[in-house]
């Protein structure tokens, strides 16, 4: 059990360490505490906090630094959140509203904002949905026998590509394209839209098969892309400036670059009963990230689609400032997704 005076001491040590990366001694604490207390009493309290696992001493005669456990105590009991200014809220709302109708792009914008707001690495992921289907497709002429193909899935994924066509894309060609896609592709599961399905259109297309192949092949590629889960990581280079990692930062960067283990962790989280979690140090289920602070928020949209969003940084991040901004970005995403017919968990 930590007393009030020990909480004050622990809070000052953590805040000092977050700002400077340097240990704090009893003499400095005497000057910072808002009441008179002897250095001997402070040293006794620091020793007690060390026995409780909240402080450690790098050198016998040196000051104390926080342990991983102390950051959890700080967040749960001592942190004073720094609220966003009206201007910060307005700018966040403006950025996130641009792609509010496209869940993946919205989450991508949110990850960029989180990285900028925190000075940390940020990410978003979507979970592969075996049952997602093609809902709609459009072919838009772009001149010089080029066209833009745009497709939408039932799960809200929007993909597009520019393709070179072997013929002029006139009204007759587009009419035939829509007839074919309605009959063979719309409503089909994404993982079933492949070259075999394209070949099955030959009896209907006949001599227009060659003209239609580029558009249908592009549609097949877009569906294959949409059928996969997505993991986007931004701001990895910002971890290099977080001195607490030392040489260990290169192991973390290698882990992030490989993606596979992180993707599996986030998929499991998205399918769990957890929603918003802040992992501190050893709380992290991934060994390679046990020297980090990692936030994870889960979204569930269009009934079956799952996604996660969060940051990865050092234990010394400015929790008072960063966590309220991460929370605001997450809640704004929730609001925009809900307004688009999506619900958030």
- Assign residue 215 the CATH number of its domain: 3.30.390.10
Residues shown for the chain: 345
The C-alpha atoms of residue 204 and residue 190 are separated, in whole angstroms, by 22
Q: What is the pLDDT of residue 345?
A: 38
The C-alpha atoms of residue 134 and residue 220 are separated, in whole angstroms, by 11
145 and 202 part of one domain: yes
Q: What is the pLDDT of residue 254?
A: 97
- What's the distance, Cα to Cα, between the start and end of the chain in Å? 34
Residue 46 is part of a domain; what is its CATH number?
1.10.10.10
DSSP, collapsed to helix, strand or coil, labels residue 79 as: coil
Q: At a CB cut-off of 8 Å and minimum separation 6, what does 273 contact?
A: none
105 and 237 part of one domain: yes
Domain enclosing residue 67, as ranges: 4-78
DSSP 34: S
Q: Which of 76-80, 175-179, 341-345 has the lowest mean pLDDT?
A: 341-345
Q: Which long-range contacts (CB under 8 A, 24 or more apart) does 208-213 make?
A: 208/173, 208/176, 210/166, 211/165, 211/166, 211/167, 211/173, 212/176, 212/177, 212/180
Identify the H or E element spanning 13: helix 4-20
The C-alpha atoms of residue 118 and residue 278 are separated, in whole angstroms, by 14
What are 290's two structure tokens?
A: 């046990």
Taking residues 9-23, report their average pLDDT. Answer: 93
Regarding predicted confidence, which is higher, 335 or 6? Answer: 6
Taking residues 43-58, report their average pLDDT. Answer: 91
CA angle 81, 281, 272 (to 5 degrees): 85
Residue 172 lies in a domain: yes
Q: What is the pLDDT of residue 143?
A: 85
The C-alpha atoms of residue 296 and residue 111 are separated, in whole angstroms, by 11
167 and 310 part of one domain: no
- The predicted-structure confidence for 238-259, as pLDDT tens digits, reads as follows 999 999 999 999 999 999 999 9
Residue 105 lies in a domain: yes
What are 156's two structure tokens?
A: 């809200």
What are 96's two structure tokens?
A: 């996130």
Is the pLDDT at 334 greater than 80? The verdict is yes
Residue 120 lies in a domain: yes
Q: What is the pLDDT of residue 302?
A: 81
The C-alpha atoms of residue 308 and residue 125 are separated, in whole angstroms, by 5
State the pLDDT confidence band at 339, using cuts at 50, 70 and 90: confident
Q: At a CB cut-off of 8 Å and minimum separation 6, what does 278 contact?
A: 75, 293, 294, 295, 296, 323
pTM of the predicted protein model: 0.88
Q: Which residues of 284-320 are buried (b: 16+ CB within 10 A; e: fewer)?
A: bebebbebbbbbbbbbbbbeebbbbbbbbbbbbbebb
Q: What is the largest CA-CA distance in the chain?
A: 94
Q: Write down the mean pLDDT value for the chain.
A: 93
Q: What is the pLDDT of residue 62?
A: 67
- The predicted-structure confidence for 52-66, as pLDDT tens digits, reads as follows 999 998 765 567 899
Quick count: other Cβ atoms within 10 Å of Cβ 243? 10
260 and 192 part of one domain: no
247 and 328 part of one domain: yes
153 and 197 part of one domain: yes
Domain end (from 227, 258, 290): 227
Residue 289 is part of a domain; what is its CATH number?
3.30.450.40
290 and 159 part of one domain: no
Is the pLDDT at 341 greater than 60? The verdict is no
- What total number of domains does the chain contain? 3
Domain end (from 55, 78, 101): 78
335 and 275 part of one domain: yes
157 and 104 part of one domain: no
Q: What is the pLDDT of residue 343?
A: 38
70 and 144 part of one domain: no
48 and 159 part of one domain: no
67 and 148 part of one domain: no
Is the pLDDT at 298 greater than 80? The verdict is yes
Domain end (from 227, 248, 277): 227
pLDDT above 90 covers a percentage of the chain that reads 81
State the pLDDT confidence band at 148, using cuts at 50, 70 and 90: very high
In DSSP notation, 228-296 reads S-EEEEE-GGGGGG-GGGGGGHHHHHHHHHH-HHHHHHHHHHHTSS--EEEEEGGGSSSGGGTTEEEEE
DSSP, collapsed to helix, strand or coil, labels residue 115 as: helix
Q: What is the pLDDT of residue 336?
A: 87
Residue 345 lies in a domain: no
Q: What is the pLDDT of residue 342?
A: 41
Residue 344 lies in a domain: no
- The predicted-structure confidence for 202-226, as pLDDT tens digits, reads as follows 999 999 999 999 999 999 999 999 9
Angle between helices 86-97 and 319-339 (to 10 degrees): 40
């Amino acid at each position: 059990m930590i007393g009030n005076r020990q909480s004050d001491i622990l809070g000052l040590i953590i805040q000092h360490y977050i700002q400077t990366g340097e240990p704090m001694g009893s003499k400095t604490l005497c000057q910072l505490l808002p009441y008179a207390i002897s250095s001997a009493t402070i040293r006794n309290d620091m020793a007690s906090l060390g026995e409780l696992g909240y402080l450690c001493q790098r050198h016998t005669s040196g000051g104390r630094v926080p342990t991983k456990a102390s950051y959890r105590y700080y967040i749960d009991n001592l942190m004073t959140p720094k609220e966003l200014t009206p201007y910060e809220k307005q700018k966040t709302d403006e950025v996130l509203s641009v792609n509010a109708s496209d869940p993946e792009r919205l989450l991508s914008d949110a990850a960029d904002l989180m990285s900028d707001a925190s000075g940390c690495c940020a990410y978003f992921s979507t979970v592969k949905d075996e049952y997602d289907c093609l809902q709609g497709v459009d072919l838009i002429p772009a001149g010089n026998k080029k066209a833009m193909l745009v497709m939408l899935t039932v799960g809200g994924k929007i993909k597009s590509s520019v393709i070179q066509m072997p013929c002029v894309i006139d009204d007759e060609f587009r009419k035939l394209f829509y007839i074919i896609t309605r009959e063979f592709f719309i409503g089909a599961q994404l993982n079933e839209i492949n070259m075999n399905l394209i070949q099955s259109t030959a009896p209907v297309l006949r001599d227009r098969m060659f003209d239609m192949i580029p558009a249908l092949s592009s549609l097949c590629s877009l569906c294959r892309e949409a059928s996969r889960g997505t993991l986007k990581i931004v701001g990895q280079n910002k971890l290099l400036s977080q001195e607490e990692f030392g040489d260990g930062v290169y192991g973390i960067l290698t882990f992030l670059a490989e993606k596979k283990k992180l993707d599996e962790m986030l998929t499991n989280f998205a399918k769990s009963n957890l929603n918003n979690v802040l992992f501190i140090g050893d709380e992290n289920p991934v060994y390679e990230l046990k020297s980090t602070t990692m936030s994870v928020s889960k979204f569930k949209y269009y009934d079956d689609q799952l996604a996660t969003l969060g940051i990865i940084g050092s234990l010394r991040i400015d929790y008072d400032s960063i966590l309220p901004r991460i929370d605001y970005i997450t809640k704004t995403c929730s609001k925009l997704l809900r307004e688009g017919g999506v619900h958030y968990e």
